[in-house]
Amino acid sequence: MLTNEFLFLGLFLAVTIGLAIPLGSYMAKVYEGQRTVLSGLLLPIERLLYGLCGVDEREEMNWKSYALAAVFFTVLGGVLLFIIEMMQGWLPLNPQNIPGMRWDTALNTAISFMTNTNWQSYVGEQAMSYFTQMVGLAVHNFLSAAIGMACLVAMIRGFSRKTTDLLGNFWVDMTRSVLYILMPLSVIFSLIFLTQGMPQTFRKSVVATTLEGQTQTIAMGPVASQISIKQLGSNGGGFFNANSAHPFENPTSLTNFLETLAILLIPMALVFMFGAMIGNKKQGRAIFIAMLLLYLLGLGVILWAELQPDAHLQGMGVTNGMNMEGKEERFGIVKSALWEESTTVTSNGSVNAMHDSSAPLAGLVQMTNMGLGEIIFGGVGVGLIGMFFHVLLTMFVVGLMIGRIPEFLGKKLGVFEMVMSVLGLVGPSVAMLTLGAIAIAVPAGLAGLNNPSAHGLSEILYAYTSAVQNNGSAFAGLGANTVFFNLTLAVNMLIGRFIVIIPALAIAGSVAQKKVVPSTSATFPTTNWLFVIVLMSVILIMGGLTFFPVYTLGPILDHFFLLAGKAF
């Protein structure tokens, strides 16, 4: 049985990588303004949008203007979403007559979706009208993803251009992200999901009578269209509270395969797009290999932890003592583990099993994936930005070792680039650890715990890590729909979004103005296995120094408690 499961894993990775490579080449053409297979259909629409919005596609921006546009558009979208959530009781497409949300929940949700986090402290099918789900949440799934992709493209241009302060046009890059990439892929995935029984309707909830004679309310709605973009855009917020463990969000083995593929497809493709845009595909492949090896390492640990027989369960008569708590029987342990790894190495945050029920070491890997900045493929745009921060830090370390000024892609790296990289790497961790420490020190934070001791600490750590890294998944045991958690997690989301994007654009603006320095025999190569190994080492050491002490008190201690026969 396990042999078939591992063959499935190999097939999944082969298909996903095989699709990501040509998609990356296509995306490079889109952002470089070249003609693509969709240009005949979409180019008139693109130009119409520019005309209506007064955008000159030939006018480019420096990094400050680009950053201002990205921040302004993000905040404006959040304000509009907050208004929709508060007023949904008076808006159309609300057959269940759901009232407006509580102010702190609405604020948390608006910030969550505008930052591509999609943290949900509410029950989607009970708290959100169809109008809010579609016009509010689904629209932000497109826009927040497009903003991250646009900022990444600007950073890539910073390294590919020379002696200029122009990085492109934010409005053009964002429009092309939606029109040429996110929208076509969403249509394709939505149509496939419909064939598998995923609902797409405006009908009100259905009241059914069960075999026991009890009544059950079955929530309906426009599900398929939202699920496609939630996965493709590294959003993760579900239509239903159970997310992709719900049979309407993930009805079959095929949808489970495709949703997992959609989580990784664009993040993988962006790495190949980077290689194409800088004219150095070997560089893109080197970074991709480092990501893939780290991905497989984390997946291996999760599988090992989840497949270990549990003495507690064996004592209860469970066959083989395998931990199926919180997992769907139709997916099993291996497919659930694949999803857990995929959704936490990206900023996706969707689930097909409850992470709170994972083995402690599996939870450790999930938190580590997020804590590193979700750089192992990462979310759409911001994940690769985080990897660039680690690459620049790696080149700084190498420069110290060989006694040379650090450089990357022919651009000399100075103090400014190093400071911005460290800010983008350390800033989210400081925010997460600070607010997490406050949460475990005040009654309002401890009141949300459903589990004591090390597992309770893991729940809080997971929440603040997920928020600051704009992931959105959670250990389900934490009751987070309180004023305290809604506000502190919202602050974490804002810090996590802007403390990555703004330094990235600042670095792009700085390196774009520099000349390209020709390679010499003393130049450290960045396309071979030595670079891959050094890069991975820097990532793991950086993560270990930052998180190991607190993880020792959380998931690691939880693991030893489990070995000693104590569970929470």
pLDDT at residue 316 in the model: 53
Q: DSSP 3-state helix, strand, coil percentages of the chain (rounded to 5)?
A: 65, 5, 30
pLDDT at residue 141 in the model: 95
CA distance 565 to 562: 5
Contact 233, 182 (CB under 8 A): yes
Contact 135, 88 (CB under 8 A): no
Q: Coil, helix or strand for 124?
A: helix
Average pLDDT over residues 381-405: 90
DSSP letter string over 522-555? TSPPSSSHHHHHHHHHHHHHHHHHHHHHHHIIII
pLDDT at residue 448 in the model: 87
* pLDDT band with cut points at 50, 70 and 90 for residue 326: confident
* pLDDT band with cut points at 50, 70 and 90 for residue 152: very high
H/E stretch holding 207 reads strand 206-209
Return the exposure string of 202-215: e unless at least 16 CB atoms fall within 10 Å of the residue's CB, then b. Answer: eeeeeeeeeeeeee
Q: Token match 């962006």: residue?
A: 270
pLDDT exceeds 50 at position 317 = no
450 vs 459, higher pLDDT = 459
Average pLDDT over residues 11-21: 97
> How crowded is residue 516: how many other Cβ atoms within 10 Å of its Cβ?
15
455 vs 381, higher pLDDT = 455
Determine which of 316-330, 378-392, 521-535 has the lowest per-residue pLDDT on average.
316-330
Strand 206-209 vs strand 407-408: parallel, antiparallel, or unpaired? Answer: unpaired
Parse the chain into domains and list their residue ranges: 31-281
CA distance 221 to 254: 21
| β-pair partners for 209 | 215
Mean pLDDT over each residue of the chain, to the nearest integer: 92
Cα–Cα–Cα angle for 286, 289, 292, rounded to 5 degrees: 155
Write out the two tokens for 164: 């200029």
Average pLDDT over residues 545-558: 90
Strand 206-209 vs strand 215-218: parallel, antiparallel, or unpaired? Answer: antiparallel
pLDDT exceeds 80 at position 111 = yes
452 vs 384, higher pLDDT = 384
pLDDT at residue 334 in the model: 93
**% of the chain exceeding 70 in pLDDT:** 97
Contact 237, 187 (CB under 8 A): no
Give the model confidence (pLDDT) of 155-193 as tens digits.
999 999 999 999 999 999 999 999 999 999 999 999 999
pLDDT exceeds 80 at position 266 = yes
Give the model confidence (pLDDT) of 346-356 as tens digits.
999 999 998 88
Contact 205, 186 (CB under 8 A): no
pLDDT exceeds 80 at position 360 = yes
pLDDT exceeds 50 at position 321 = yes
pLDDT at residue 513 in the model: 96
Q: Token match 């309906």: residue?
A: 220
H/E stretch holding 217 reads strand 215-218
DSSP state of 177: I
pLDDT at residue 450 in the model: 83
| Backbone φ and ψ of 411, nearest 5° | -105, 125
Nearest-Å Rg of the Cα atoms of the chain is 23
H/E stretch holding 393 reads helix 382-402
Contact 229, 186 (CB under 8 A): yes
Write out the two tokens for 455: 């597992």
Contact 446, 480 (CB under 8 A): no
Residues 6 or more apart in contact with residue 114 via CB below 8 angstroms = 74, 75, 77, 78, 81, 140, 143, 144
Sign of the torsion angle spanned by Cα atoms 141, 183, 225, 131: positive
Contact 277, 34 (CB under 8 A): no
Residues 6 or more apart in contact with residue 309 via CB below 8 angstroms = 320, 321, 322
pLDDT exceeds 60 at position 68 = yes
Average pLDDT over residues 312-333: 71
* Secondary structure in 3-state letters for 133-168: HHHHHHHHHHHHHHHHHHHHHHHHHHHHCCCCCCCC
* pLDDT band with cut points at 50, 70 and 90 for residue 1: low
| Backbone φ and ψ of 89, nearest 5° | -65, -25
